[in-house]
Each structure stands twice: as C-alpha cells, then as structure tokens.
Amino acid sequence: MRIGMRLLLGYFLIVAIAAWFVLSIFVQEVKPGVRRATEGTLIDTATLLAEVGRDDLLSDNPQEGKLAQAFSRLHLRPFRANIGGIHKVRNEYHVYMTDARGRVVFDSAGRAVGEDYSRWNDVWLTLRGEYGARSTPGNPQDPESTVMYVAAPVVDQGKIIGVLSVGKPNSAMAPVIQRSERRILWAGGALLGLALLIGLAVAWWINRSINTLSRYADSVTTDSPLPLPDPGSSELRKLAQALENMRVRLEGKNYIEHYVHALTHELKSPLAAIRGAAEILTEQPPPQVAARFIDNILVQNARMQSLVEKLLAQARLENRVEIVPVSVSIDELFSRLADARAATLASAHITLSWQKSGCCVEGDADLLEQALGNLLDNAIDFTPQGGTIQLAANQSHRQVEIAVTDTGSGIPDYARPRIFERFYSLPRQNGLKSSGLGLAFVQEVARLHQGSIDLQNRTDGGVIATLTLHRPFT
C-alpha cells in the first residue's frame, strides 16, 4: 500500500474515532439536556401558578376559581406557533392542584378531581417541604408515553396548604430531540466528508512530491538527471537537496573513472599525430616538410589544450549544486553572441538573424551565454554555406523558450539517443572533429537552472534547439 494511502487511512481513522466519540456524547446528551431544560421551565411555571392557585384553594371552590377559568378559555382558543421549524398548535400542560391532604381539588383535564394523590412523589415530597417531581407513563404499553410532573407548594402565611403540579408529555419534546440528533448526525457526516476530502488532498500532495523525488532519483540512475525538483515543503526540499548532494558524491568515483578513460581515448589521436611528426622531424627532413609537421604538432597541441579546458569547465559545472540567479536579458545575450561569432559566420557565409523580444530569465548570465554559445556553434558547424541561423525567444506564463534554429542536415535517427552524451559527436561540415562536450555542457546548465533542453529535427531541414528557462518574478 502506498504511503499516501496509509497516511490517508490513518488520518481518516483518527478523525472517524474522534467524531464518533464526540457525536455519541452529543447524541447521548441531547435527550437528558432537553428534559433538564424542560424541567426547569416546569418548575418556574408551577411556582407561578401556585401563587395564582392559592386564592382559589383558600376560596374552597377551586374548580370555579381564576385558574380554572383561565384554562377553560385556553382550551377554547387555538393558537399556532413555529418554533424553529417545529409547529405547536395546542397547550400541552397538564395542571392539577391538591389540598394539604393530597386530594385533587382542581384538574385542568377534569379527570382526577377528588382522587387521592398523596402517594405520588410530586405531592408527597412537596407537602413535606422537599422538591417534588415524578415521571409517569400515560400508557403502560408505551414507554415513550411518559409525562413529567413538577410540583410547587401552595403557601399561605408560611404554611403549606396544598400542592400545584404541572406536567408535560415527554413526547412533546421528541421533535426537538429528533431534530437536534439529526442535525448533529448531519454535521458529523459533513465533518467526515470534509476530513476525507482534506485527507485525499494531503495524500495526493504527498504522493506527488514523493513521485517527483522518485522520478528525479530514477533519472540519476539512467545518467540523465532531471532538474532538482521543488517538492513544496521545507522538509521535502531538504530531502531533495540531500538526494542531489548524494548524487554528486556518488557520481564522483564513476565521474573520475569515466573522464580518465574518455580523456585517454580523446588524447590518443593527437598524441599519435605528435609522435609521428616528431619521429619524422628527428630524421631532419627538408625545411618545407619540417614546417608542415611542425604546424601539425601545433594544431594537435591546440586541440589537446582545448579539450582539457573544456573538460575542466564541464567538471566545474557538474560539481555545482546551485546557482545564484539574477535577471538576465535575452536580447543582450543574443547581441553578445552575434558580435562574438560575426567573423566565423562571415567566413562560413552563414546569415544569423534575431529579433528583440524583451524577454528576461532568472539565471547565471555567464553560464547561459556559454550554453547558448555552444548551441550556436553547433548550428554553425552543421549549416552549409549560404544557410541561415535564427535566434528567437518566446515567453508564456512563467517560462521563456529560447530557440536556435538552423538549416543544416539535421540529427540522424541513430544519433538521437546519444546526442547529450559526453564525447559523442557527429561529422561537421568543415570536416573537423568536435570534443563532444558542447551539448553535455548545455544539459548541465539547463539542470542547474531547473530548465530543460530539447533538440528536434525540422520538417523542412535543419534542427531547432529549445532551451526552456524560468522568467523572473515581478
């Protein structure tokens, strides 16, 4: 199982357990919480009605008193109330009053007048000066039919002369409890859904970052490293930098061994030519023959010196981990390249054209000039007399594409997989052999700039080399 999926499952399991724990507590507390609130309201109501019912009880005719008249009018007058989506259309209170012996003298429902309620908890406890309340099922077959009664003493001159009880069916509270439970469960479901979405987003981000690092590590093993990735977090960025440092260190031994073999191979031909020329010169040939072999020695010496210098430049570049980027004008680069190659272009009868683009990139100006110079030199070497080379730059979003287009012979199919290898080169128009380090240098420059280099054959002949770099932040 992928690490992102494991993190997602672990995160979601923690959220689900926490949500279940919190929701279960909320759901369990809804019903008793609503009933406690209702009981508090019943206490206030019973205390208030006990004051109204005192005069009725003292009058010895409570069934015709003010309390009885009020309930008679209440039953005759329907009402409608919308309490947060719960519709209330009738009075649900059941009120009865007993005398000091616990006998019912008033019943709002008119059913229990004259009955002895002295043994009911609400009446029994209240007559003894305690808090009296009870919950009694209205239908013994239905456990949800219970009615909560709360009693208050009817006091006259400091003496308890009766008890007034107010009852309310628990079923009247059911809509409130059910709505609260539904809302809590919906909120819990929404919380889990949101947690799942967040978890998926985090898992996707972690997998993407790890896949980026994996692709970078795989590219190192194939000897074609990608630009150092930016995973998007300081920890993963440190890991990416550690991978880059490890790549540089691990490549050190193979790097030196490869360069020694390559350098030995590349130096064989000029050394053999120098040795042959030296052997002939020891025989003291005629002056014109000696001058020709001396020139050959100088040419081969210059070739070896150029090769060593390029190898040193390549080695310094490949050992660099990062650069200090600055804003570099592409137009200025093009202008310097055109001026530096003007004589070479003229002698080869090649036309170089470029237009101002106003583009800028983030990078090292010297390295970019060397890289573009290598691309331009390649274009010159492979373009026949009378050909043209074009420099262009186009920007889109956060990138700039710098293109060097020639009208040469193009890249053979067999050479395409190897064009970025060190010391691999193709025959030039002028017949000279290249060091094979130019494109490898360009690739390293692109890597350091977190850009890319791509060479493609044109349909009408020639090659277009595209160096993609980042635009500066504005």
**How is 327-371 classified by DSSP, letter by letter?**
EEEHHHHHHHHHHHTHHHHHHTT-EEEE-----EEEE-HHHHHHH
pLDDT value of position 98: 93
User: Considering only 114-128, 172-186, 323-337, 441-455, which range has the smallest mean pLDDT?
Assistant: 172-186
Model confidence at 4, pLDDT cuts 50, 70, 90, reads: low
What is the DSSP-derived secondary structure letter of residue 225? P
Alpha-carbon distance 375 to 419, whole Å? 12
What is the DSSP-derived secondary structure letter of residue 422? T
Alpha-carbon distance 198 to 141, whole Å? 49
Mean pLDDT of 284-292: 80
User: Considering only 91-105, 194-208, 238-252, which range has the smallest mean pLDDT?
Assistant: 238-252
User: Considering only 38-47, 369-378, 417-426, which range has the smallest mean pLDDT?
Assistant: 417-426
Alpha-carbon distance 19 to 368, whole Å? 57
Mean pLDDT of 205-216: 73
| Cα distances (Å, whole numbers) of residue 463 to 327, 341, 349 | 28, 19, 18
Answer for the pair 427, 382: CB distance below 8 angstroms, yes or no.
Answer: no
**Tens digits of residue pLDDT in 295-344:** 778 876 776 776 666 666 656 655 555 667 788 898 998 998 888 888 88
Answer for the pair 372, 340: CB distance below 8 angstroms, yes or no.
Answer: no
What is the DSSP-derived secondary structure letter of residue 149? E
Nearest residue to 394 (alpha-carbon basis) of 379, 404, 383: 404
In the numeric block, which tokens belong to residue 43? 């206490």
Alpha-carbon distance 146 to 151, whole Å? 16
pTM, to two decimals: 0.43
| Cα distances (Å, whole numbers) of residue 276 to 125, 177, 299, 308, 356 | 129, 106, 14, 21, 51
**Tens digits of residue pLDDT in 143-161:** 777 888 999 999 998 899 9
Phi, psi of 437 (to 5 degrees): -110, -10
SS3 label, residue 24: helix
